[in-house]
Structure 1
């Protein structure tokens, strides 16, 4: 539907709107067509009793002088035929005693979104009045806001509309309604979304039921829409399209069944991947055919599986029976049947038992003296043995249980060897063995059968004569050959079908997933009785045209006559947050989102994290050689992106490293940079530009020291005095002078440098975070936060911490070993360089100190490093501390007091408006409960404008809470900031600590592992042996050095530095400006649904491969 209703006289639903007083004219200057969006409900088709109740709860009295009453009517073309029209007078809809019933009857006519033609008169005011409802609006700039008043009540209500359900946007031609919330929360649509989230708009989408599937499917191709579930209170089984969802789930179940058949068949077939290029939705006719085909295939494979199971079971039974026959025949060939029967007919004696024990192999069974023996056979000739098979692992347990259950009156013989049968379901080979049990009597037979059943042993009847047994074995072998041929033929046919299915399954799975996803979204819509679906969705402002085009394409594909309607809605709900990323920025955005998704249009820390995160990591890592290895690893992953992604590796640890390939590359680059700054690579320095230090001792002095060291048998350290040994004109141009790598006091020097650098870098990043917060305050028009939060915070930081950074930098620049005048005081030398830490403590304690470095007698003060080191330092520090302390109550009380002032002012404006409204209507109030009858619509006065202005002021959610809650909330933030400045500054010292730890570990690895191994052969007197062993020992030492360096210094230390950098960004940096309490934008994207389905398929295939590998 077009937004400009000058060019539209009839919308796509067949509604024609006109003014009954004067025919519509395209060039009539006194008439304006307006687009009326009812945001109070997802669709106006539910414009019934609930709407009237909500309107009565949210009434207003904004208006003007009595306007000339309008007659409005609406026509609808029935069934799309212009010659058959219905005429409805809108004034009749809202009139009559039973107006609720009439409203329900009119719901089918109003449809959901409709246009009204208003006469424009009386200073730009529009007015429509009936017996029960009054719609009154005042034109203000480019947007009109309609306020509803219940005319059936007798009490004047002056409370302004503050609830979403009673506010309606009335937009002039060619204008789009923009809510006050969106005015505050939006910037230029072309702003780069990396710095702020994409501008979002809430839309109402109305679709005809016949075109809903095609439209939603078309939207799913692009992934630009996040739908809101309007049926959240309904169960999944109470929604409109639950039948379609169940059909899709049933088809998916059948498809997974077929997929399992493909994966588990032998020889194995790999399922093909889903084609994500084409996301076209299947037609309903195609899905019906697919459903029918899946039904047939499922039945066919169920029959095949059942037949295959039966055939394999028969084959297994035949194989088991054959082995039983062979063992029984072998047994009776050794022990003749007649002799065995005669032996059993005699009374059992001890000698007989021993003979049977030796004959049957019962070694290790209980002694015959433990239980009394009974004869095995009597006069009758009943069955006296059974034979069968049982699992091999149950063989010994079966013998023991049977022996004890029969009280030693039954004898068991099992085969020494075993044979394999395949499980008819899993085809897993199962080892089994044959057993024979000899017993006497019916009671023992029952006991033997129960024991066999308990051990899952299968019994087979055996012929008594050898001739019958051989005949049975011959028949069984023939039956087994026939079964094998049938099974092989069935498997060939089955494999042929499954091979064709392996190509069709991905296409079917894609169609089912698309169908299921689309119907899942359609279940979020509300459906009226006229076949219209109404839903709400969030759409990025930049994607609005794409969404409208997708809806139009879906409308064309559906072949219906009713076009989709997309209307922008007013809302107070916070929009979702969307940051567009690419493969480079995705990892940095993930780091930020792991802490918390940013609020809508909040400043995004990710662009700054791209630089600051690897830089802080590199400060802690600080080794050029290790950084080079890290860089090479990152470049390897980047270069082989396509190959790695094609392999679809699902290992979680590997994917973690692969996903961070770009941040790994940047961390390596920055580590190389900081390594050159520290002049550190594998704990060694490089003298590239030439050291500024030189040896000030002559050869005679050096020989004397060497001789003394030899006599004393200990080393001596020679001190290089800067006045004699350092050339200030040859200062090392970049990084640390390499002389410090061999100096004994290098740790003192490097620790001092790194500690101060950590403090400066940390305070700089925190200050930058505070300055980013002002961008949020200005963007959200929260100017009170600029005054009461940002400015005091910056002043507080400047008075203490930035002042400390200035002191550090000044000390680096001006103070050295040479005496002279520095900052107005005579400086005696490096032993009087100011102590910044103790000076900061004395600053807070207001401790009195000495001025300068010399007393009145010209002597250097004893603790000259603790005195004031520039003029008026005491006054400056006192003022700074006083200003910093004064900022605390401003941060604590400023905003709560302002909120209280604005709240009281708004209440006074409301009370003044109510009193003036009563006076304007000429009504006398005798009691607070007396009804007031209005004689006409009130004017929109200056007080109304002030009240609206006060309502539009952004004072946050605190207005809805008590003043105590506001004070507590602000107190928490103030205390957190003040204490956080101290604790966070100390927290940045981890940059120095981890850098020190990494450097020391690297030095230990170099000297104690690599160098120790290389020089280990120097003490061997036999030079020939040392010559041959030296390369071997050096290679082993280097191998150990490389392994320890990769595992400890790069992986473990790198992970530690990564986690600490993560902490510094999440807590120390982002806490200054980033709330992270938003919710992400989850677009409906068919590709994501298909990827999830593909993951399920690949996981099923992986588990099947593991199962095949185990067996």
Structure 2
């Protein structure tokens, strides 16, 4: 709890590493994750540092790994997680990883190139085969078709352009085309057919016959990799010049042109040869794909481990680039921030690294004094990590300041539950989180790729507590899917009221609502044992009652929450020995908060205690009293709650106003006066120059000593730092304005607890009334059948609207109130 309540004590230390064992020592320290290294070469370019060659080699290997991963992704395979966490490789092992990865990459490039070449060749052969088949059908058609077939007569009377209609569906008697014509055949992208056909007509002036038909099967586009249905074209023409024009136009439209034999026998021989080539090429392609799959299996097996190893190796060399060499260049010196309690572990890690490298000289660590503020280190576990992330998202506490995360473990789910209070909804949320907690070690849950799911999984303990607290507040509100539950008998007696008022059958028939008077003896038998009485769910004024209750509860909890936050500052003032802030900051802040809003809480409780149902009609308004308090007036129509109320309220307002200048000027003036009269600081009986050992069990040659004052104060020696009075005053002015305005605005902000709780209850009631209640209309078997889809719709809407949307809204508002 000490580390969670306040950040770890961190010191600045130096590591003395032998050049031969530096790599192993940094690797061992990295596996333990104990240190934060400082850059001792800030003015040296990254390209001029000692180990830049090794870093570049790691980057080259990472490029190779990226290529391998892309090949896996293009093959439709996902790269799995690393089965175990490997250590950083040694120099010989790193060289082996580099050689094997480059060999695999080269092999994969060659196989992929051959595979792509074979697929392209097979695609061309199939396209050629379809071109010849469709061309045979075309060349057997007559030159001129029936009317309306779309054949336009050419100038020579024996040729034309087919512009529409059924190309192969002519009912004319087949007549072979004249033997003097030549052919251009190929395939074209379907998007370019219209422009291609129009340009052919205009460029060749109609001295051709062009036919277009879709390919029977879709094939891959080599440019985009998409599967499209190509269009086959066959153009017959007369004349060498026209043929040259057609070929040039085909090249401009990126058409794939194939040789087209002019004789029937030549086409039959070509088709037969294509069948044989396609069959042989399919066998070769299948074997190539099998070999490619084997190579990809090797990559998928080795790549996760290699990536982790190279990442660690690169991190080690980046750390070594931050170190500096001594004058002999045989020893590396590093400066690190280290938790004080982990210094012995650091020394053990250095000893282990020196042993693994076979160095005869042992590396060591020594603590050094510093005037810089150490970084903040707060240790977390799987339960507290989610709550610490909520706090750190707003801002990380300064070194050794109080950490608010332990208190947020309770306050955050509770404030969320106030807005989300419902037993049924809270139970669903609790069970969902409990399932994630029970199966948190499952690889299937941990290794998901969906970012939203990973967010839910990381916050499983937070969701678990939010669900548990929502169940609790749901019992307080007595709401379960918007319906009240009768756990205990109601404290209101309708029979007693009926006997007292002598309600007749005629009276009950003419009055849709009945009034229960708590002043009648026996009608109200005392408070409900736990939560709100279920009879309020049947009352017509239940919203007025719940709104009044939740509004006052929100104000009370909000002011208590703000006051608790101010009280936490006391621990910081005492820890940093800034006792003047207790009088000049904490005391004025508490006076301002309690004199105004603490008094409002007192009025709420006082009115609850003093006025009951018997004298509720004469109860004064707290709101009017609070307004009159600031106006220094009194209202004769609004009776005082107690004797001497008006003078007391004036005194409280004066105290609140008087605390503002104290808060604004107190700390700056005190620091200014203290700077003018410096004094010698002595701590714990030790003078400034006295020293004491810092590491237990270390020899004198392996550590240094520093002043105890510098260690305990984090390097800040009082009285040695120059004070900028203008900066201090500006900072205090901002703090004063922010605090005074924040007390007012934040108190109003806590009313969102009431607003969102009301919205959640009303949405629950609307869903039940508009959806679920319709399933209980029929009492026959048909009603049971109708209930199934109605309940399914109710369940889906409940999860989507009330659990997800309303839950996210309540979470964000709870986050805002904590920030």
TM-score (norm 2): 0.86
| Aligned with 2:285 (options 464, 469, 487) | 487
| Aligned with 1:437 (options 235, 239, 244) | 235
5+ residue gaps, structure 1, are 1-190, 341-347, 366-375, 819-828, 851-862, 910-944, 1018-1025, 1067-1111
1:964 equivalent in structure 2: 726
| Aligned with 2:30 (options 206, 220, 223) | 220
Give the C-alpha shift of residue 1051 in structure 1.
Answer: 2.5
| Aligned with 2:245 (options 447, 463, 471) | 447
1:986 equivalent in structure 2: 748
1:289 aligns with 2:75: no
- Tell me the number of residue pairs that the alignment of Structure 1 and Structure 2 aligns: 770
2:607 equivalent in structure 1: 811
Contact 1:691–1:739, Cα closer than 8 Å, also in 2 = yes
| Aligned with 1:772 (options 552, 568, 573) | 568
CA shift digits 1:568-598 (9 cap, x unpaired): 2333333222221111111111111111122
Where 1:510 maps in the other structure, the secondary structure is helix
Where 1:598 maps in the other structure, the secondary structure is coil
Q: Take 2:272 and 2:770, find their aligned partners in 1: how far apart are those partners?
A: 79
Change (3 A) 1:707 1:211: same
| Aligned with 2:449 (options 650, 653, 661) | 650
1:363 equivalent in structure 2: 164
Contact 1:194–1:580, Cα closer than 8 Å, also in 2 = yes
Q: Take 2:191 and 2:433, find their aligned partners in 1: how far apart are those partners?
A: 53
Change (3 A) 1:848 1:230: same
1:753 aligns with 2:567: no
Q: Take 1:416 and 1:981, find their aligned partners in 2: how far apart are those partners?
A: 75
2:39 equivalent in structure 1: 229
Change (3 A) 1:577 1:548: same
CA shift digits 1:1031-1071 (9 cap, x unpaired): 344444444433333332332222222111111111xxxxx
Contact 2:551–2:751, Cα closer than 8 Å, also in 1 = yes
Contact 1:262–1:269, Cα closer than 8 Å, also in 2 = yes
Change (3 A) 1:980 1:647: closer
More moved, 881-890 vs 500-509: 500-509
Contact 2:162–2:209, Cα closer than 8 Å, also in 1 = no
CA shift digits 1:804-832 (9 cap, x unpaired): 222222222232244xxxxxxxxxx3222
Change (3 A) 1:797 1:396: same
Contact 2:182–2:262, Cα closer than 8 Å, also in 1 = no
Q: Take 2:550 and 2:186, find their aligned partners in 1: how far apart are those partners?
A: 83
Give the C-alpha shift of residue 270 in structure 1.
Answer: 5.5
1:568 aligns with 2:367: yes
Change (3 A) 1:816 1:907: closer
Give the C-alpha shift of residue 385 in structure 1.
Answer: 3.2
Give the C-alpha shift of residue 217 in structure 1.
Answer: 1.0
| Aligned with 2:83 (options 275, 280, 292) | 275
Give the C-alpha shift of residue 960 in structure 1.
Answer: 4.3
More moved, 300-309 vs 980-989: 300-309
Where 1:302 maps in the other structure, the secondary structure is helix
Q: Take 1:953 and 1:578, find their aligned partners in 2: how far apart are those partners?
A: 22
Q: Take 1:330 and 1:817, find their aligned partners in 2: how far apart are those partners?
A: 100
Could you say which structure has the larger radius of gyration? 1
Q: Take 1:509 and 1:745, find their aligned partners in 2: how far apart are those partners?
A: 66
Contact 1:418–1:433, Cα closer than 8 Å, also in 2 = no
Give the C-alpha shift of residue 894 in structure 1.
Answer: 0.6
More moved, 990-999 vs 433-442: 433-442
Contact 1:311–1:487, Cα closer than 8 Å, also in 2 = yes
1:1047 aligns with 2:784: no
1:847 aligns with 2:657: no
1:41 equivalent in structure 2: none
Q: Take 2:717 and 2:152, find their aligned partners in 1: how far apart are those partners?
A: 111
- 1:10-159 aligned at under 5 Å gives the runs none
Give the C-alpha shift of residue 775 in structure 1.
Answer: 0.8
Where 1:536 maps in the other structure, the secondary structure is strand
Where 2:184 maps in the other structure, the secondary structure is strand
Give the C-alpha shift of residue 953 in structure 1.
Answer: 6.4
Change (3 A) 1:391 1:966: same
CA shift digits 1:329-367 (9 cap, x unpaired): 5544556xxx99xxxxxxx9957778744xx643379xx
Where 1:977 maps in the other structure, the secondary structure is helix
1:1065 aligns with 2:806: no
Give the C-alpha shift of residue 290 in structure 1.
Answer: 2.7
1:619 equivalent in structure 2: 418
Change (3 A) 1:331 1:543: same
Change (3 A) 1:236 1:354: farther
Where 2:230 maps in the other structure, the secondary structure is strand
Give the C-alpha shift of residue 890 in structure 1.
Answer: 0.9
Where 1:578 maps in the other structure, the secondary structure is coil
- 1:255-266 aligned at under 5 Å gives the runs 255-265=65-75
1:1002 equivalent in structure 2: 764
| Aligned with 2:468 (options 669, 673, 697) | 669
1:13 equivalent in structure 2: none
1:409 aligns with 2:162: no
Contact 2:371–2:716, Cα closer than 8 Å, also in 1 = no
Give the C-alpha shift of residue 906 in structure 1.
Answer: 4.4
Change (3 A) 1:317 1:1054: closer
Give the C-alpha shift of residue 789 in structure 1.
Answer: 0.3
Give the C-alpha shift of residue 675 in structure 1.
Answer: 1.8
1:515 aligns with 2:313: yes
1:919 equivalent in structure 2: none
Change (3 A) 1:884 1:280: same
2:347 equivalent in structure 1: 548
Contact 1:527–1:534, Cα closer than 8 Å, also in 2 = yes
Change (3 A) 1:582 1:725: same
2:558 equivalent in structure 1: 762
CA shift digits 1:127-153 (9 cap, x unpaired): xxxxxxxxxxxxxxxxxxxxxxxxxxx
Q: Take 1:685 and 1:897, find their aligned partners in 2: how far apart are those partners?
A: 59
Q: Take 1:333 and 1:350, find their aligned partners in 2: how far apart are those partners?
A: 18
Give the C-alpha shift of residue 731 in structure 1.
Answer: 3.0
Q: Take 2:248 and 2:368, find their aligned partners in 1: how far apart are those partners?
A: 76
Contact 1:231–1:525, Cα closer than 8 Å, also in 2 = yes
| Aligned with 1:577 (options 352, 371, 376) | 376
| Aligned with 1:888 (options 660, 677, 687) | 660
Q: Take 1:434 and 1:848, find their aligned partners in 2: how far apart are those partners?
A: 96
1:238 aligns with 2:34: no
Where 1:693 maps in the other structure, the secondary structure is coil
1:394 equivalent in structure 2: 192
Give the C-alpha shift of residue 988 in structure 1.
Answer: 1.4
Where 1:456 maps in the other structure, the secondary structure is coil
CA shift digits 1:412-469 (9 cap, x unpaired): 1234544555567997655434322233445433432222122221223334334444
Where 1:667 maps in the other structure, the secondary structure is helix
1:153 equivalent in structure 2: none
1:973 aligns with 2:732: no
1:32 equivalent in structure 2: none
Q: Take 2:767 and 2:104, find their aligned partners in 1: how far apart are those partners?
A: 66
1:504 equivalent in structure 2: 302
Change (3 A) 1:324 1:846: closer
TM-score (norm 1): 0.64
Where 2:482 maps in the other structure, the secondary structure is coil
Change (3 A) 1:692 1:270: closer
Contact 1:418–1:434, Cα closer than 8 Å, also in 2 = no
Q: Take 1:294 and 1:639, find their aligned partners in 2: how far apart are those partners?
A: 40
Q: Take 2:488 and 2:470, find their aligned partners in 1: how far apart are those partners?
A: 21
RMSD value, Cα: 3.4
Q: Take 1:1062 and 1:657, find their aligned partners in 2: how far apart are those partners?
A: 16
Change (3 A) 1:1032 1:289: closer
| Aligned with 2:114 (options 304, 307, 315) | 307
Q: Take 1:419 and 1:691, find their aligned partners in 2: how far apart are those partners?
A: 76
Where 2:211 maps in the other structure, the secondary structure is strand
Contact 2:129–2:274, Cα closer than 8 Å, also in 1 = yes
